[in-house]
Structure 1
């Protein structure tokens, strides 16, 4: 009898998983409690896969042999509780896809910098002529690529949500950029639960595999004292420390050292600027070295990478004021990195759906660099309470257009208007991409 697979969630990962399950001869049903986007519906129709939207057929779902859950569905959702009560195994799309490929896996996680590092690693490998796929939070569904394409290597961005339901899946190179508080509403407001989810990336690593991580992250260091891995360790740091494999030397050159490849290049040749991007470049460079990419290919790709939309993205200069779109900064630590790379004279736009944020992390940088804060959200009370009196001026706005108009009115030539919200976008926008695009449109209207 065919294995009964139920896929929950009709987005990129869910539809990809359903197609792979169909191709493997399984009995597949996809269910989405909300609406499925028209292009995903069409894919399901074209593939002849049974689906539903706007609710769950519980009897059909609870008859599954295995459930593939989209990462955005919380384990506390009513249908998930019923699935757990029945003892039905629940896995992620990444876990499912990993069963059907022997490609090498470069898996990247961290609270901040994941997307940049993933795209940079992919850029290096693709430009070096590797048959490489891009998956996870960026690119196409891993399951769909495994079903319909063939790649020798996959570069995969993994969120804590995706890692939650991974068990047998194995990375060949696991990258941990940093861990700072994020998504605590998903983890019972317990930081350790979030850390445990992140560290699932090192599950199943063997002595032939590699673990690349930021040496100076206190949360990573504390967890490494509690867990063990057989993988070879490749820590990176800003400066040379004991045992680090990537650092900046006394001549301001980036040094990458692995058992496979060693290379040096001037730091000022890196395409990406700022301390956080230095770490992203180190992690991507170490991954490429371990995959035996030629030194000249690594250097060239680190020099010509063009960055990520919505991450410290320059938009325009209007009346001498620079406008920067950092809409991807959906947590406080992301905003810290953005402010760290800015000159003084920042007009900072904050606000959105608060995920249990602690703003003390950016307090000293705000006092040092920010001349005004413009709050932008349905409810700005927490931001107003925290920052009033800590900056010269603070404003309460409830739409993006009002926020941008306010910034334009108070910013002087030489200032920087920085959208780096610290919060999720779902109070006023459909996604951080939607927020970023609307910001760019509003800035262009200022000209």
Structure 2
């Protein structure tokens, strides 16, 4: 019986443990932190051995296969020891994809993954048997075990792609690449780019690669590192023969001479970046033979994603907007770009080596006050101190919202778009976003 060791007892770890056991592996789960009680109960009920609070090397280095949580960096000494013994390390998507014959649609990029994955799922579920997974919802492994869908939409991070071997989506989508998570890639941008492109490394000419043709990083990389798949670019700037482009106020998508045209005026999501997300999603739907009418209607009634430019409430004619999911500068760039009124901006958290320069034009044009919400706000004060009249620091969400309430006037926006990770003051970006919404409702 092969021994499968799982490092990390979160959602993906639990799903892999259950699928592994069902497929005849001897499974052991190890987490250096605490495993949530609800997960422990499931492991115990299924008679799967586990430990938390530390890693016992003698229980791990005898594995035939290791599945590691995407949160564990490669530079950890335990990972180095596992590799030194020649034990293969895989991510959950690699492990799980070996047990399904479903059509896989995989989406990656520095920004817009969750919105685009949710939108693709929304387009496909009207007519197909489809699951939504990856970084979102129930784990891929668990879904394969409980209800093996005929199609999966998978939101995938670079960390998950770092540990694939044979993972091969029928349709791969690469939305954009901007510097993010560089702390995990030795601060070398090329390493991060290469990681994102692994989404297509096992694809053949019968598979599809959908990408942003306006993204200089992507197009330059493709010129130097050609891939096997059929390319379907999308663009806001140039006419595309095979793929999607914007022609005045219409999205035009052409695949093998079959064209679909959609007006952008009726899109439920606002902002230029969401026209791109809609192009990518519609191209996938078009490839999978979803009816044109269904695609149009679905784009018009899509509700968007929690914590992503989410309109919370209007109080005294001030709109409060929760964009807690903006954990990097580029995501905040889209948020500030879409602001159409003077904005009180709540920013800060755990900095991932941010360069704030691309935000300067919007801060000068649109931002009237900045509230720094982080343990260490030095870099924000240095970058933006001279640009706005009011810049204050706090470490409490409730206080940040009260300060914003005092500063904002009728017609203004209050925007939480942190451009940083949340782990200095919050459990995760969801926790940060919920605290913001709660503080707004308590005003």
Query: TM-score surpassing 0.5?
Result: yes
Q: Note if 1:394 corresponds to 2:353.
A: no
Deviations 1:267-318, CA, capped at 9 Å, x for gaps:
1111111011111111000000001111111111111100000000000011
Q: Note if 1:353 corresponds to 2:353.
A: no
In the TM superposition, 1:270-289 aligns within 5 A as: 270-289=267-286
Gaps of 5+ in 1: none
**Equivalent in 406, 409, 414 of residue 409 of structure 1:** 406
Secondary structure of residue in 1 paired with 2:371: strand
Gaps of 5+ in 2: none
Q: Which residue of 2 aligns with 1:75?
A: 74
Deviation at 1:392, TM superposition (A): 2.4
**Equivalent in 206, 217, 221 of residue 204 of structure 2:** 206
Q: Which residue of 1 aligns with 2:47?
A: 48
Deviation at 1:248, TM superposition (A): 1.9
Secondary structure of residue in 2 paired with 1:39: helix
In the TM superposition, 1:136-151 aligns within 5 A as: 136-151=134-149
Q: Which residue of 2 aligns with 1:31?
A: 30
Secondary structure of residue in 2 paired with 1:368: helix
In 2, the alpha carbon distance for the partners of 1:218 and 1:58 equals 44
Deviations 1:51-101, CA, capped at 9 Å, x for gaps:
110001100100001100111111112211211221211000100011111
Q: Which residue of 1 aligns with 2:418?
A: 421
In 2, the alpha carbon distance for the partners of 1:299 and 1:79 equals 50
Secondary structure of residue in 1 paired with 2:401: helix
In the TM superposition, 1:339-378 aligns within 5 A as: 339-378=336-375
Deviation at 1:259, TM superposition (A): 2.4
Secondary structure of residue in 2 paired with 1:225: helix
Q: Which residue of 2 aligns with 1:126?
A: 125
Query: In the alignment, is the contact (CA less than 8 A) between 1:248 and 1:255 conserved in 2?
Result: yes
Q: Note if 1:248 corresponds to 2:246.
A: yes
In 1, the alpha carbon distance for the partners of 2:94 and 2:237 equals 36
**Equivalent in 164, 167, 181 of residue 165 of structure 2:** 167
In 2, the alpha carbon distance for the partners of 1:279 and 1:46 equals 45
**Equivalent in 235, 245, 256 of residue 237 of structure 1:** 235
TM-score w.r.t. structure 1 length? 0.97
In 1, the alpha carbon distance for the partners of 2:204 and 2:243 equals 19
* Matched length: 443
TM-score w.r.t. structure 2 length? 0.98
**Equivalent in 316, 323, 344 of residue 313 of structure 2:** 316
Query: In the alignment, is the contact (CA less than 8 A) between 1:344 and 1:368 conserved in 2?
Result: no
Deviations 1:200-249, CA, capped at 9 Å, x for gaps:
10111111111000001011011112212121111111144354621221
In 2, the alpha carbon distance for the partners of 1:320 and 1:299 equals 32
In 2, the alpha carbon distance for the partners of 1:220 and 1:166 equals 21
Deviation at 1:440, TM superposition (A): 0.2
Q: Which residue of 1 aligns with 2:216?
A: 218
Secondary structure of residue in 2 paired with 1:80: helix
Q: CA RMSD in A?
A: 1.1
Secondary structure of residue in 2 paired with 1:262: strand
In 1, the alpha carbon distance for the partners of 2:241 and 2:251 equals 16
Secondary structure of residue in 2 paired with 1:353: coil
